[in-house]
C-alpha cells in the first residue's frame, strides 16, 4: 500500500538550545533554507516550495524582544493569515519540525509554547490554486502576548471561503471533535494513524472540508508534550511522531513526524 500523500514527502526534525529570539531565527533559517528547500526572499522572510498547483506559504519572522518571537503567515495571494507569538525563557530547547509544506517551532519552557504553519492536501479532491483556505497557522499568543484559549493549547487560524479569518481552534473540529481517549486506539490499545483534517466555512458559514495537514497526526491528550508515538501509516510502514500542543477546546493533541 502506498503512503498517503501527506506522509510521502521530505521532513526534518532538529533541536537546539536557544537563548533568545534572534538565535531561534538563525536556527529557523538553517532548517528551512540551508538544510531544507525553502527560499529566502528578504531578511527573515521565507517561502515554501510551490506545490503542484503553485500554492505556497510565506513566513515573515520578527523579534520584538529577546524573549519574544513573532511569525506572520501569508498565502500566495499576499493575504495575511495571522501573526502569532511565542515567548521565551533565558535558555530553552527549541524543536523545529519542517518540510516542503509545514513548519512548526516549539519552545520547551516549563509550559511549552508552539507556533507554525502547514498547507492542506485536499485528497481525494484536486488541488486548486484559487482558494482562500489552504494555509493553516497557529500559535499560543497574539502579538500583544495574550494567550489564546489556553497557554497549553494551539489556536489555529485560516481564511474562510469568503475570505475572512476563522480561528481559535474551531477549524480543527472537523474530525474527532468529541472523541474520547479510547477512540484514538485500535482493539489492541495501540494509537492509530489519524490525519489532521481541517475544515473551513463557505459564504453562508456552513462547515466544509478543507483537507489534511502534512506530516502530522491527531491523538488524544494522554501523551505529554514531547512524548513519541510509533504509528503504522499504511499497514507496513511506521512513522515516529512527537507530541506537541493541544488543540484548543478539545482533548486532542497534534503530533509531528520525526522519523
Query: Does 4 fall in a domain?
Result: no
Which of residues 118 and 250 earns the better pLDDT score?
118
pLDDT at 171: 44
Number of folded domains that form the chain: 1
The per-residue pLDDT of the chain, averaged, comes to 87
Strand order of the sheet with strand 39-42? 39-42, 45-47, 58-65, 68-74, 80-87
Q: β-pairing, 92-99 with 80-87?
A: unpaired
How long is the chain? 259
Q: CB-based contacts of 35: which residues, under 8 Å, 6+ apart?
A: 12, 14
Instruction: Please write the tens of the pLDDT for every residue from 88-103.
Output: 999 999 999 999 999 9
Query: Does 242 fall in a domain?
Result: yes
Query: Does 1 fall in a domain?
Result: no
The span from the CA of 191 to the CA of 188, in Å, is 9
Coil vs helix vs strand at 159: strand
Coil vs helix vs strand at 18: strand
Query: Does 139 fall in a domain?
Result: yes
Instruction: Please write the tens of the pLDDT for every residue from 24-80.
Output: 999 999 999 999 999 999 999 999 999 988 999 999 999 999 999 999 999 999 999
Whole domain around residue 70: which residue ranges? 11-257
Is the pTM above the cut of 0.85?
yes
Query: Does 3 fall in a domain?
Result: no
Q: CB-based contacts of 99: which residues, under 8 Å, 6+ apart?
A: 9, 10, 11, 12, 36, 214, 215
Helices of type H across the chain: 21-29
Query: Does 155 fall in a domain?
Result: yes
Above pLDDT 90, what percent of the chain?
Answer: 55
Query: Does 134 fall in a domain?
Result: yes
Query: Does 5 fall in a domain?
Result: no
Instruction: Please write the tens of the pLDDT for every residue from 146-172.
Output: 887 665 667 778 887 767 776 654 445
Amino acid at each position: 500500500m502506498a503512503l498517503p500523500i501527506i506522509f510521502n514527502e521530505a521532513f526534518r526534525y532538529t533541536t537546539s538550545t536557544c537563548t533568545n529570539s534572534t538565535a531561534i531565527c538563525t536556527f529557523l533559517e538553517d532548517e528551512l533554507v540551508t538544510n531544507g528547500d525553502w527560499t529566502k526572499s528578504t531578511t527573515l522572510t521565507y517561502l515554501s516550495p510551490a506545490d503542484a498547483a503553485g500554492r505556497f506559504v510565506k513566513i515573515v519572522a520578527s523579534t520584538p524582544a529577546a524573549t519574544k518571537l513573532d511569525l506572520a503567515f501569508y498565502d500566495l495571494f499576499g493575504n495575511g493569515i495571522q501573526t502569532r507569538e511565542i515567548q521565551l525563557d533565558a535558555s530553552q530547547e527549541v524543536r523545529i519540525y519542517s518540510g516542503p509544506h509545514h513548519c512548526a517551532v516549539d519552545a520547551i519552557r516549563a509550559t511549552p509554547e508552539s507556533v507554525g504553519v502547514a498547507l492542506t492536501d485536499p485528497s481525494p479532491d484536486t488541488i486548486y490554486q484559487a482558494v482562500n483556505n489552504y494555509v493553516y497557522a497557529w500559535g499560543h499568543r497574539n502579538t500583544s502576548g495574550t494567550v489564546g484559549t489556553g497557554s497549553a493549547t494551539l489556536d489555529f487560524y485560516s481564511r474562510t471561503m469568503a475570505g475572512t479569518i476563522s480561528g481559535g481552534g474551531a477549524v480543527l473540529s472537523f474530525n474527532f471533535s468529541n472523541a474520547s481517549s479510547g477512540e484514538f486506539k485500535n482493539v489492541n490499545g495501540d494509537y492509530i494513524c489519524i490525519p489532521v483534517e481541517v475544515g473551513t466555512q463557505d459564504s453562508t458559514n456552513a462547515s466544509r472540508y478543507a483537507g489534511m495537514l502534512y506530516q502530522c497526526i491527531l491523538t488524544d491528550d494522554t501523551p505529554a508534550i514531547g512524548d513519541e508515538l510509533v504509528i503504522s501509516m499504511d499497514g507496513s510502514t511506521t512513522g515516529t511522531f512527537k507530541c506537541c500542543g493541544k488543540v484548543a477546546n478539545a482533548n486532542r493533541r497534534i503530533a509531528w513526524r520525526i522519523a
